[in-house]
Amino acid sequence: MRSLDNPLSETFTPDPPGTPGSLVRAGITVERAAAKLKADILEGRYAPGQRLISRDIVDKLGVSRSSLREAFRRLEADGLVEVVPNRGAVVRVLSSSEVRHIFQIREALEGYAVQQAALRIDEGDNRARLTAVLARGLTHRTEPVFQQFIVDNRDFHQEIVRICGNPPLAELIDKSQLPILVIQLRDAITLTEMIRNTLDEHEAIAAGILDGDPAAAYDAMKRHLWHAADLLLAHSAAGAQERS
């Protein structure tokens, strides 16, 4: 039976280690721990650069240290934390050079994607689907919810890639759209400003695609990406100056 005080903890007679039942249960526990920590990071409960104290998290979530280590590894694979020797897991902070390199890659990949999307917008239900995902994101103008905004922001970019009909391109772009970028951007400006800027820029990108204008779509995507990059780089420089 699951404890009412801690949704991650369970009370039961454990199966012997290594049996199918124990392995399945351990996998479920890892999934829950990783999901909870990911949500906490995305919601700002842990700041970029903050160390995740294993002892505290084990007590809070009611999981074993081995399950927590595996959860940390999953978060590291998602680009949210770094597992540092003798320090444990730390919420990832991208350096200025990493930010610059990532956005150079994103400009090349997503710039190509929007051009292809503009050329294919009238195929099938592409126009209706892009319009729908844009409208869903625009609801954050009046009812901003940060974690859902991250999901809707990602959906907008992924819908553009889907229209391209190029699965390998989708995989490459997905790897460059790190959630930690949004978290660091939230630290650089207010949530309201970040959402407003993003939605304005999404509308400009969508307009270029819906007009079937590859050049306009590319220019709008480039402005969108480098506006975010410039904010991140300025915030990073200001932080470095304060620490010096």
Domain boundaries of the chain, sorted by first residue = 20-91, 96-243
C-alpha closest to that of 133 among 51, 202, 58: 202
Distance CA 24, CA 20 (A): 6
Number of other CB atoms surrounding residue 191 within 10 Å? 15
Distance CA 92, CA 89 (A): 9
Contact of 178 with 102, CB cutoff 8 Å: yes
Q: What is the DSSP letter of 94?
A: -
Domains 20-91 and 96-243 share a fold: no
H-type alpha helices, the chain: 20-42, 54-61, 65-77, 96-120, 126-138, 146-164, 167-176, 179-188, 191-210, 214-243
C-alpha closest to that of 200 among 151, 145, 153, 143: 153
CATH code at 20-91: 1.10.10.10
pTM for the predicted model, two decimal places:
0.73
In what helix (H) or strand (E) does residue 51 lie, and over which residues does it extend?
Answer: strand 51-52
Contact of 83 with 76, CB cutoff 8 Å: yes
> For each of the chain's 244 residues, which pLDDT tens digit applies?
444 444 444 333 343 444 433 433 445 689 999 999 988 887 778 888 899 999 999 999 888 999 999 999 999 988 889 998 888 899 988 888 988 999 999 999 999 999 999 999 999 999 999 999 999 999 999 988 887 888 899 899 999 999 999 999 988 888 787 767 777 777 777 878 889 999 999 999 999 999 999 999 999 999 999 998 998 888 777 655 555 5
Q: What is the DSSP letter of 88?
A: E
In this structure, CATH architecture of domain 96-243? Up-down Bundle (1.20)
